[in-house]
């Protein structure tokens, strides 16, 4: 398997298709028509994709098995001075003030690969980017699943106050963040990812 930053237009469309398949079709995301992110489903010749305003400032990471995209995530900076979350809820002050901060969204992995190396490869690549650029990386998610994974395996810190994107959302989410300014910690986590990946590779044999 190979993890890399997606630059080819067709690969980016495949990532948007995967996000649609996992987040909308499987996880039943409800997309409100008046949402402030411009989030919507778009019909392309290649199929249905998940699309929003933040695609214009997004960097996508993907994992491939041979030539097939099997997992992806999206890293976004600010658009018109705001992160996507800030259209729905206030952000922690120290992240809000961080000019290098990035928001991690749209994590999507095909079901058959969820206990494979894919998510480890995605997060190792994320940490390698943080080691190069610095800044806080953060995102939101449920607790305990997948939140415990983010904290226990991927080295994120959970902010203890949950919230909802919309008042009628059935479940609260938490904010998770990684301090990209702590370079020794980032390097340590990359080493841990390498060990975990080596073990999984050995098991695959």
Is residue 37 over pLDDT 90?
yes
Nearest residue to 76 (alpha-carbon basis) of 87, 67, 65: 87
How many structural domains compose the chain?
A: 1
Kindly report the CATH number assigned to the domain that includes residue 48.
3.40.630.30
Nearest-angstrom CA–CA distance, 55 and 83? 12
Residue 59 phi/psi, 5-degree rounding, is -115, 130
From residue 26, give the alpha-carbon distance in Å to each of 44, 109, 110, 116. Answer: 20, 11, 10, 19
Is residue 204 over pLDDT 90?
no
Is residue 205 over pLDDT 70?
no
Domain that holds residue 60: 2-204
Strands 102-109 and 136-141: parallel
Question: Residue 116: its pLDDT value, please?
Answer: 86
Q: Tell me the per-residue pLDDT of 112-171, one tens digit each, with 9 for 90 and over.
A: 998 889 999 999 999 999 999 999 999 999 999 889 999 999 999 999 999 999 999 999
Question: Residue 109: its pLDDT value, please?
Answer: 96
Contact (Cβ atoms closer than 8 angstroms) between residue 130 and residue 186:
yes
Q: Whole-number mean pLDDT of the chain?
A: 95
Question: Residue 201: its pLDDT value, please?
Answer: 81
Q: Tell me the per-residue pLDDT of 40-71, one tens digit each, with 9 for 90 and over.
A: 999 999 999 999 999 999 999 999 999 999 99
């Amino acid at each position: 398997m190979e993890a890399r930053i997606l630059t080819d237009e067709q690969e980016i469309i495949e990532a948007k298709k995967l996000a649609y398949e996992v987040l909308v079709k499987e996880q039943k995301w409800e997309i409100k028509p008046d949402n402030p992110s411009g989030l919507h489903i778009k019909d392309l010749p290649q199929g249905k994709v998940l699309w929003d305003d933040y695609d214009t400032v997004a960097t996508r990471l993907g994992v491939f098995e041979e030539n097939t995209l099997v997992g992806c995530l999206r890293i976004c900076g600010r658009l018109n001075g705001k992160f996507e979350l800030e259209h729905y809820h206030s952000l922690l002050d120290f992240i809000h003030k961080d000019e290098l901060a990035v928001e991690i969204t749209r994590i999507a992995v095909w079901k058959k690969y969820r206990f494979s190396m894919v998510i480890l490869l995605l997060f190792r690549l994320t940490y390698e980017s943080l080691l190069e650029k610095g800044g806080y990386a953060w995102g939101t998610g449920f607790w305990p699943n997948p939140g415990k994974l983010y904290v226990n395996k991927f080295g994120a810190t959970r902010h203890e106050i949950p919230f909802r994107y919309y008042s009628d959302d059935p479940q609260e989410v938490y904010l998770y963040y990684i301090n990209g300014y702590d370079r020794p910690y980032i390097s340590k986590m990359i080493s841990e990812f390498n060990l975990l990946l080596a073990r999984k590779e050995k098991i695959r044999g």
